[in-house]
Amino acid sequence: MAAAFSSSLWQTQSNISILLPPSNSLAVKFGCSYPNFRPRKLCNVSVNCCLNFPLEPQSSVGKSLNSILQNQRTCFYDAVSMELNQVVEDREAAFARFNLSLGSDEASLHRRIAKLKEAESQLAVEDALYMIILYNFSNIRVPLVPTLSKCLYKGRLEILPSKDYELESIHSSEVLEMVKEHLGTAVGWKAGSSVSVNWSPTNIRRHHLSQVYAASILYGYFLKSASRRLCLEHNVPSTTFQNFPFGSWTSLIERASCGFENVTLGPTTSSRSTAMSQVTKKPRNKEANLKCYVMGFDVQTMEQCAKLRSKEAVELIDKHCSALFGDDNVESNDLILTSLSSLKRLVLEAVAFGCFLWEAEEYVSRIYELKN
């Protein structure tokens, strides 16, 4: 089941440069057990997720938000709102000057300025999305794994502490069940495996691992999207639901966890949102199981839930994965010696990243119009 979901997700993400191999090739082949093996150096990730994350912010907006995240967390969402509003204002001003200059000798100059401002705006928004994701990871006290080369010693990759409990805590029980199915499909993890099995050495290619990680981000994004859609169907009359385009329906419902607990977001008020008092709820029936609900999707609905809503999100995933695993044009596709426990940590992080990306997009889109 999870294999079918992962395959469908990647078929809809043609713009992402990292492609997922067939699901049957994702199962990691375990080698011999070496009971006396002791890694001489492990990647001991700091509790502070605001440090040593793979992708450094490139824009002034990103650097400013990173500083605030480290030093003034209570002001973080106020700062995000202020920075994004300034980005919108600067971008609109540049295009307004270009429109006014049409027909004059300065038109070409203002056209170039507007294009530069457009590129700057996109970079700033990508950084804002990333900082929001980091903020949510810090709320559950989980740091992102730093650039993989910092976690390798003589080709051995181990990530400590695992933070599995914290990464699983953001999901409801039914969502977590689907995540565990995905773990089995992606890296061959099985519930109840012994400690010796979880820590026995196994080999995996760097490029293959990057594919698994990127696919897991998309799977987390898909689960978040499907969960919110299910929540909406339990709160809004079907006629109202059908009249709203996909992607705008989340503003109709209260921002309850809907299967994803302990995720802290910023203020939810917005002129683009529709108040719950304006929507007549239908009587609540017994909630459908998310797995059964997703299995009932037709092709169009599956694609809608799986599709990344913005160009900024596509670019951010690509940049984050490249920063974490290395650019394919630079890094060799070397063989990495690791363990099932570390692979599980990476997959759980990626699924959480996808969930948080969905939330970050939702917040940013209230202020800045993301590109489809």
Position 328 scores a pLDDT of 61
pLDDT value at 10 more than 80: no
The answer to whether the CB of 192 falls within 8 A of the CB of 180 is no
- Choice between 351 and 110, residue whose per-residue pLDDT is larger: 351
- Choice between 8 and 17, residue whose per-residue pLDDT is larger: 8
Least confident range of 196-200, 232-236, 270-274:
270-274
Q: What distance in Å separates the CA atoms of residue 317 and residue 17, rounded to the nearest whole number?
A: 10
Three-state DSSP state, 183: helix
Pick the closest to residue 84 from 132, 137, 135 (CA basis): 132
Q: Name the one residue in this structure whose structure tokens are 């809809």.
A: 12
Could you read off the pLDDT of 269-310 as tens digits, one per residue? 333 333 333 333 333 444 568 888 888 888 888 887 878 889
- Choice between 200 and 357, residue whose per-residue pLDDT is larger: 357
Q: What distance in Å separates the CA atoms of residue 256 and residue 253, rounded to the nearest whole number?
A: 8
Read off the tokens for 278. Answer: 């304006």
Residue 328 CA to its chain's centroid (Å) = 21
Least confident range of 43-47, 208-212, 227-231, 235-239:
43-47
* Amino acid at site 348: L
Q: What is the DSSP string of 122-157?
A: HHHHHHHHHHHHHHHHHHTT-PPP--GGGGEETTEE
Position 235 scores a pLDDT of 74
Categorize the per-residue pLDDT at 243 as very low, low, confident or very high, splitting at 50, 70 and 90: low
pLDDT value at 46 more than 90: no
Could you read off the pLDDT of 116-162 as tens digits, one per residue? 999 999 999 999 999 999 999 999 999 999 988 888 877 788 888 88
Read off the tokens for 353. Answer: 């990243």
The b-or-e profile of 169-179 (16+ CB within 10 A means b, else e) is: ebbeebbbbbb
Pick the closest to residue 21 from 32, 36, 11 (CA basis): 11
Position 110 scores a pLDDT of 87
Mean pLDDT score, 235-243? 58
Pick the closest to residue 308 from 183, 187, 215 (CA basis): 215
The mean pLDDT value of the chain amounts to 76
Could you read off the pLDDT of 56-86 as tens digits, one per residue? 999 999 999 999 999 988 999 999 999 999 9
Q: Name the one residue in this structure whose structure tokens are 């169009």.
A: 300
pLDDT value at 31 more than 50: no
Position 200 scores a pLDDT of 85
Read off the tokens for 103. Answer: 């027909």
The predicted model scores a pTM of 0.75
* Amino acid at site 310: S
Position 371 scores a pLDDT of 87
pLDDT value at 264 more than 60: no
The answer to whether the CB of 126 falls within 8 A of the CB of 312 is yes
Read off the tokens for 114. Answer: 């507007």
